[in-house]
Chains A and B, each alone.
Chain A
Amino acid sequence: MDEHKREPLTDDQLSAIMKKWIVVAPESLENRVLDAHTDIAASKSRRSWWHFLLKGYVRVPTPVVCLVAILMIALVWRSTWVAATCTAGSGVRSAVSCPANQKC
């Protein structure tokens, strides 16, 4: 097409011509989406607390996981260290190594 030899369309003419490209969603789309809607609604109705307990999962932020891991490591380390200190039979009861309520 020798496009530049023709006078270009005006804005209104362009809009009018573009409006002639009409697109309608096919029936199959409606069926697909409504089927998906039915599936989702059915799966939601099947859900219950025990379903969550058996198959559910929770998303935990990484910083929280790290903090909990550090705390657990610290607790395990402390309890083993206290136990080791107290069973060593040194006879020295340290406030740090053997807390007052700890039976050595």
Chain B
Amino acid sequence: MTKQEFQRAFQDHKDAVYGFALRMTSSVQVAEDVAQDCFVELLRHPGHFDPARGPVRQYLLGMARNLVFRYWRTSRRLDPIEDDARSDTPDLIAGPIASLVEVAVQSLPPLQREALLLFEYEGFTLEEIGRLVDADVGTVKSRLHRAREKLRYLLAPLKNGSGGN
């Protein structure tokens, strides 16, 4: 991979990779580390990316997902990984809409959260998400449905733009 090719890949996908990591972890530091590791890995081992298995964005997001889960494991944050391990409902107080969305998304269990993020922000299909998270389409559909169902109620106060943004 030449420097030009890498820079193009970086410019095209940096926001997606960083955004995914930030929305998953809600930590700027972790998101930066994850995004850096993804791109450095692409640099070091460009042969690991197989275009036949999907576009480079999918490859990078898959790597980011693995790094995020590894971060949770190593930082002993094992509890929130299960599908329904977290059921706390945050109180959304008036504030910028983005912050309220962040709070609501963070209240989801990670497996539901990742399905929702990949669907809403990356526009991935259920099949693509299934391949990326190593789950069948039915499972992804169920996670996505539960995530959206929860957020529909949680973010209902923002329907008329009352979030202050």
Contacts and interface: CB of A to CB of B under 8 A. Distances in A.
Interface of A: 1, 3-4, 6-11, 13-15, 17-26, 28-30, 32-34, 36-37, 40-41
A21 B98 contact: yes
6 contacts: A9-B159, A20-B165, A21-B97, A36-B40, A37-B6, A40-B44
Given A3-B154, A21-B105, 13 more contacts: A3-B157, A6-B153, A7-B159, A9-B156, A9-B159, A19-B120, A20-B98, A25-B18, A29-B32, A29-B35, A33-B10, A33-B39, A37-B3
Interface in B22-42: 22-23, 28, 32, 35-36, 39-40
A17 B36 contact: no
Contacts of B7: 34
A23 B149 CA distance: 23
A14 B44 contact: no
Contacts, number: 105
A25 B10 CA distance: 11
A29 B17 CA distance: 11
B50 interface: no
A40 B14 CA distance: 19
B64 to A, nearest CB: 12
Given A1-B157, A33-B36, A23 B19 contact: yes
A24 to B, nearest CB: 6
B151 interface: yes
Contacts of A9: 151-152, 155-156, 158-159
B10 to A, nearest CB: 6
